[in-house]
Chains A and B, each alone.
Chain A
Amino acid sequence: MRPLTEDETKIFFEKLSKYIGENIKLLLDRPDGNFCFRFQKDRIFYVREDIMKRATSVDPKHLLSIGTCFGKFTKTKRIRLHITALDYLAPYAKFKVWLKPNAEQQFLYGHHVMKAGLGRITENTPQYQGVVVYNMNDLPLGFGVAAKSTDLCRSCDPMAIVVFHQADIGEYIRSEEMLI
């Protein structure tokens, strides 16, 4: 377990800012306690400081997880955010997409979002912007990338993909072994 290096921090923040913009600051500077990002076995964990200090007594070889796993570095040093990060992405999300009830299941099975299933979308969403996906009751379901901008969404045909799937809460069941 160690803090992120400068390069890693940069890559990580760039990725995170696609979803929550400059709200990353609120994750670093929290009134309710000191939180930090820690690197352990290619994964990034967001953890309270006192828990992290206690975890130092565990052999890093055997330390499986602490706090919340935000994502994992790929071998090519890119970041893949995990669904576990949703708890922190959803409250600060800049751009959101709401799904119609009948499209919910499709998304939770890991499919992209079609225009037909799109209930609502934040105004002025640019293309390829990271978005958090909600159902109509404002329950966060996952996150993805806007395949089309808001304006393009209006004019495209119903079967066109509007949001690329990246992670959804169905993964808690589907890929349980991967999540930490």
Chain B
Amino acid sequence: MADLVENILREEAEKESKYKTIVVQKDVDIEIDDGNLLAYDPNPIDVELFRSNRNEYLSNLARDNTQLLFNKLWTLPVEKVENIVLAKLPNPSTQFPREKRLPKPKPETKWEKYAKVKGIQNKKKDKLVWDEQHKEFRPRWGYGRANDDTKDWLIEIKSNADPDEDPFAKRTNAKKERTAKNELQRLRNIARSRYGKVPGVGLTPVDKPNKDQLNKALVLAKKSTASLGKFTEKLPKEKATREKGKRRKFEPCVGDMKKEKDKQLHILHTLSQAPPVNVAKAAQQFMSQEEDNATFSKEGGRKKRGDKAGRRSKAGGRPPKKNKGFQNRGKGGKGGKGK
């Protein structure tokens, strides 16, 4: 009988030690952000306990703080959905840094850059406009747009218009040209944002080229041969076209001497600031050193067996070979100088 009582008492004691109390005492209240399910414990660490038994101390601390967090959660309003108890979390109060880096600003298109310089601002336009024909609002552009002139069933032509020309085809063609031009400009904008400078397109076809465009076309066409226009035949009375290449420009010989000196000193400063470290070369050097060490230790092993002469001959044989190569190179350089 006494045995039984003792057993029960022991079990009870074990149970008590197993489930710790839900009341946790703290010197300083911990800060709980229940929106993030986050608890922050400002209490100092008990250094002695921490040093004597770190893992147990930390796990106990974590348990206590988690207990406090759960205590706080149970004070929140709860609701039951399909036999599951849900607590309604308030908005989080702690701000976290964003996970991803800030998005880069979109590269400016050529028009945007121009508009910025000129101070041109976008006028907001409605997306829908009134279509007189259909008596309803339709999108300004895109599929089923309002006032679509390519969908006209009749086009009024002027009396002096070319009778053979198809005005419908002309309109669709003009539209196609405009979209093609826009696409080209879009691609050029992308290329400009990626590579910086984009070469000019030269000449784009136009309906009625003016004098300048014709001139440019002529110059380009004449130059577009394998010999860069050296053997292009000329018309009997043709004037010589002026070369319009990029000209190199140099500073004047006697200019602002102080400015020149400052510029050179600045270049010198930038050169001295960044010592040219040849990473590839350094890596190679390091690797070759490692290799040398490895072979040396290998040969050291051989030396134990008494192969001393073999090692010496090999070590003596290698450097002159290397030098020979350099010698040749030096000679070649000198020959070049002589020219």
Q: Footprint of B on A, CB under 8 Å?
A: 1-3, 5-6, 9-10, 13-14, 17, 22, 24-25, 28-29, 34, 36-38, 49, 52-53, 56, 80, 110, 112, 147, 156-157, 159-161, 164-165, 175, 178
Contact = CB atoms under 8 A, between A and B. Distances in A.
13 contacts: A2-B251, A2-B252, A6-B263, A10-B271, A25-B265, A29-B261, A29-B265, A36-B261, A56-B253, A112-B330, A157-B316, A165-B334, A175-B338
A2 B253 contact: yes
B334 A157 contact: no
Given A13-B268, A25-B265, A157 B319 contact: yes
Interface in B223-262: 250-255, 257, 260-261
Contacts of A34: 257, 261
B334 A110 contact: yes
A164 B250 CA distance: 36
Interface in B290-317: 316
A38 B252 CA distance: 11
B267 A28 contact: no
B55 interface: no
Nearest to A55: B253
Interface stretch (B72-80, B162-170, B320-328): B320-328
A28 B250 contact: no
Contacts of A80: 337
B264 interface: yes
A18 B338 CA distance: 23
Given A1-B253, A34-B257, A80-B337, A165 B330 contact: yes
B157 to A, nearest CB: 61
Nearest to A6: B267
A159 B320 contact: yes
A24 B267 CA distance: 11
Contacts of A5: 250-251
Interface residues of B, number: 27
B260 A36 contact: yes
B261 to A, nearest CB: 6
A180 to B, nearest CB: 14
Contacts of B17: none
A3 B262 CA distance: 13
Contacts of B264: 9, 13, 28, 37
Given A112-B327, A159-B320, A3 B251 contact: yes
A87 to B, nearest CB: 20
B272 interface: yes
Contacts of B337: 80, 175, 178
A39 B266 CA distance: 19
B268 A24 contact: yes
A112 B333 CA distance: 12
A2 to B, nearest CB: 4
Contact of A22 (B272, B276, B327, B338): B272
B265 A28 contact: yes
B310 to A, nearest CB: 18
B293 to A, nearest CB: 16
B265 A52 contact: no
A110 B319 CA distance: 23
Name, among B255, B271, B316, the residue most crowded by chain A CB atoms within 10 Å (CB to CB): B271
A156 B260 contact: no
A56 B330 CA distance: 38
Contacts of A6: 263, 267
